[in-house]
Amino acid sequence: MFGILIEIVNIACSVLIWLVIIRCILSFVPHNPYQSIIRFIYEVTEPIMAPFRRIVPPLGALDISPIVVVIALELLRWALIHTLSALRF
């Protein structure tokens, strides 16, 4: 049972990290924000990124909050997987 939970946590964090990366790439290319897939990416990542954007100030024109979000998601993944692994035994 814990193996399945570990895999779900791992996949969910990976998907979120990739969506944040895709969102960053989208900020450099012209796109239609009303296209369904792009709207989906923004709707999924905005609740995660908004609190970090309020906390982490931009460095000039560079927004480093996505980097902090990716690091936070990796730390969350690590903590959850290690906690679930410890509960397994």
Q: pLDDT in tens for each of the 89 residues of the chain?
A: 778 999 999 999 999 999 999 999 999 999 999 999 999 999 999 999 999 999 998 888 889 999 999 999 999 999 999 999 998 76
Task: Sort 26 into a burial class: Cβ within 10 Å, 0-12 / 13-18 / 19+.
Answer: middle
| Rounded Cα gap, residues 3 and 5, in angstroms | 5
Phi, psi of 59, rounded to the nearest 5 degrees: -95, 90
Say which residues have a Cβ less than 8 Å from residue 56's Cβ, sequence separation at least 6. 64, 65, 68
